[in-house]
Amino acid sequence: MKKSILILTIAMTVISCQKSTESLFNGSNNPYGAPAFDKIKTSDYLPAFNQAISASEKEIADIINNPEEPTFENTIEKLDRSGKQLDQVSAVFFNILEADGNDELNTIAEKISPLISAHEDGILLNSELFERIKAVYEQRDVLGLNAEQMRLLTETYRTFTLNGANLDDESKEKLKDINQKLSVLSLKFGQNVQEETNRYELFITDEQELKGLPEWVKQSAKELAAEAGRQNAYKFYPTRTSFIPVLTYADNRELRKELLMAYTTRGNHDNEYDNKQIIKQTLQLRQEKAQLLGFDTPANYILDNTMAHNSQTVDAFLQSVWQPALEKAKKEAAELQLMLQKDYPGEQLQPWDWWYYAEKLRKIKYDLDEEQLKPYFNLDNVRKGAFMVAEKLYGLKFEKLSDMPVYNKDVEVFKVTNEDNQLVGILYTDYFPRAGKRPGAWMENICPQYIDENGIDHRPIIINVGNFTKPTATTPSLLSMDDVETLFHEFGHALHGLLSNTTYKTLSGTNVPRDFVELPSQFMENYCYEPEVIKTYAIHYQTGEVIPDSLIAKINAAAKFNQGFVKTELLSASILDMDYHELKSVDNLNVNEFEQTSMEKMGMIPQIIVRYRSTFFNHIFMTGYEAGYYSYTWSAVLDSDAFYAFKETGDIFNPQVAQKFKHMLQQGGTKDAQELYNEFRGKPADPKYLLIKTGLIE
């Protein structure tokens, strides 16, 4: 089906994620075909997976056994449209596992992950299927395909070859074994981090030890302790929502150290949750896989299908940003050291001191107190501000749906429509921490956008997940400026999925290279700092006062403050990731020693700890960002350049530029990422706008 087909009206549009799969979940009565979260039982998952895998296997067998000659329609298109049941069951299950997990779900994940890996290998390494794909690929120039069809064909062929389709039978069996082992290790790594996070609890009974902490922090900690059965106590644990306020405000230096060390040593204890051996095994298997597929290192294998293409390009890029960031961080450390000396003569600045003294210095330099800002950042209003930006840029409207089934009482659901009142998609938001939810923030596709063989445009179902401070008995959820930025970031990912307008699900929404996928999210961060946007969401929760211009000016004046620390913390993790994946052997690998050597080699200053130490670096050992963590900074260059395209017109909502940016997002992975960006901007991105924006250069 050609991409020119218009989005159908609501009456004709169906957001249907396989009715047969829904029936396994006891059906869904909502008109959008969203999962029946309120009816799903844990016991449903294994049967659902088994049925979905069987259905997918039959679809693949039908393609292979088709007696007709291979064509784009009967092979490539059929393959793209296969596996819908499995896609939905997987999307629902793994989102629940991460957002609302428990031991029972973990057990199911341990059972199903190897089966899914084996099933995927059964497709990607199927010789008969690949022969049909290859036959179509070799005729590609005479098939009269449109641009999107050609992209689907070339990407399908590329995916199969990069996943071993050209290997001999013995090598294919070895690759299958590697992939299954990696799937299990990845799951175990994440479970260990979660267990280490959950099992640590710090209860404070003497309020004097909490001197300096704002009342909202103490109130939240008190309610957490009460939930744990400890009255008249305060509970803290190693997640950023819990320990960052302590690092920032607590006068108690030992408390700051205790919580930071608890966070940064997760997975690094000699117990059943130790991740060091998992890291070594994972890297060993990734090396074997890369070499089996003809690459010298895992990094070069992984990067082959990205904008960067190889590790040399990434290394050079990281160094170009690392040196300015490191020099800035050294200057910042010197300033903070002078402040520390007044409280602790003769002592050296430590990582658990940085946040605390940086906050004091920010108050001095900019007269900006984070506590002065928080009352203005009611989560509900911040989300409305993000919705407003999407409306002004892309013409989207958001309507809350109160009768939709959800998997947790904290989840809220919104219907998204366009200027013509046509359905764009469904957005779930899940913003508060809970036992069983992994730390961090993310976006998930429950159902991607695509156009089926009948011309029906299936609109996407998207989830935004976060870990913001929960409302208390006396206050709503109040965000820090960092939290505001995170909400806008994840909403940017959601918009990438919601705006998708492609024919094929393989190329839909966020199915783009990893060093491009962060562009839409980081682009949205720019808007949360703009005065005309801040005034739409920053409303004092007690007085109803819109944030004054004086505070907005301070926020923007302070935006470049502490950026040496921020960028050094981030880039050191990116370099560590590359160091691991450029290894050719891990025979003598000692994880802690390797990490320390990596830090020394890059010149990391001891006052800063790498953002993700190895043993809890979920991005690269669990969630698929291996040799890809650099992409946040790579995309930051793109987003800074893209936002400047608006700024240089004098209108951050310039309709002509917005339409071009929207068009880029709608195309998903239907074109080469660099080509997409060049079409939007007219040229490649210029790194100088990132360095200027962050104050790393004048």
Active-site amino acid positions: 490
Structure tokens given for 252: 């108690």
Task: Give the list of residues 6+ apart from residue 420 with CB closer than 8 angstroms, or none.
Answer: none
Enumerate the β-bridge partners of residue 204. Answer: 234
Task: Give the list of residues 6+ apart from residue 522 with CB closer than 8 angstroms, or none.
Answer: 489, 492, 632, 635, 636, 638, 639
Within 13 Å of residue 592, how many CA atoms lie on the same side as its CB? 9
Q: How many Å apart are CA 72 and CA 689, to the nearest integer?
A: 43
Q: How far is CA 371 from CA 213, 280, 360, 406, in A?
A: 10, 43, 12, 33
Q: Are 627 and 199 in contact (CB under 8 A)?
A: no
DSSP code of 75? Answer: I
Q: Are 140 and 129 in contact (CB under 8 A)?
A: no
Nearest to 244 by CA among 472, 481, 429: 481
Structure tokens given for 1: 């089906």
Per DSSP bridges, beta strands 442-447 and 423-430 are: unpaired
Q: Are 385 and 536 in contact (CB under 8 A)?
A: yes
Nearest to 634 by CA among 583, 679, 578: 578
Q: How many Å apart are CA 683 and CA 605, to the nearest integer?
A: 36
Enumerate the β-bridge partners of residue 185. Answer: none
Structure tokens given for 115: 């089966």
Enumerate the β-bridge partners of residue 445. Answer: 462
The owner of tokens 């899914």 is 116
Give the 3-state DSSP-derived string for 279-297, with helices as H, strands as E and coil as C: HHHHHHHHHHHHHHCCCCC
Enumerate the β-bridge partners of residue 461. Answer: 426, 447
Which 3 state secondary structure label does DSSP give 296?
coil
Q: What are phi and psi of 417, to 5 degrees?
A: -130, 165
The owner of tokens 């892309």 is 394
Q: How far is CA 402 from CA 412, 415, 444, 498, in A?
A: 8, 10, 21, 20
Angle, alpha carbons 443-80-492 (nearest 5°): 20
